[in-house]
Amino acid sequence: MTISEPTISEENKLDEIIASLYTRIQKETDRLLKQQCIKFGIDYDNCKHMIGKCDYPADEFKLADYFLGEQFLLGVRIGSNFMAIEFIIPETHKKEVQHV
């Protein structure tokens, strides 16, 4: 069996899946950022535009960290098996794993 080039239909389906996964990860990231702000006594609605994001394009696992000033709020990374998204929550030092 040979592997052939994907059809346009297959490429479109892949694009839909990628967009859906990205949307789900972004929604969960936003939810957790808001939760973290509440835990730290930060008014999320008035400060969300001040939250900084540090991306890590050269790291195969670490996606981004979010900060407000010097306060680390949330980390987002790919699980070591490449099948999960992990959210690093600093206050509790636990990982919440969401399989995608």
Instruction: Give per-residue pLDDT as tens, 4-34.
Output: 787 888 888 888 988 998 899 999 999 999 9
Tally of CB atoms within 10 A around 26: 11
The confidence score (pLDDT) of residue 93 equals 43
Instruction: Say what the pLDDT of residue 94 is.
Output: 47
Q: How far is CA 3 from the centre of its chain?
A: 32
Q: What's the pTM value of the predicted model, to 2 decimals?
A: 0.73
pLDDT digits over 43-86, tens only? 999 998 999 999 998 988 999 999 998 889 999 998 888 888 89
Asked if residues 95 and 88 have their Cβ atoms less than 8 Å apart, the reply is yes
In this structure, are residues 42 and 33 in contact, taking their beta carbons and an 8 Å threshold? no
The full set of domain ranges for the chain reads 8-99
Question: Residue 72 CA to chain centroid, in angstroms?
Answer: 15
Q: Which residues of 76-88 are buried (b: 16+ CB within 10 A; e: fewer)?
A: bbbeeeeeebbbb
Which SS3 state, helix, strand or coil, does residue 42 take? coil
Q: Is the pLDDT of residue 92 over 70?
A: no
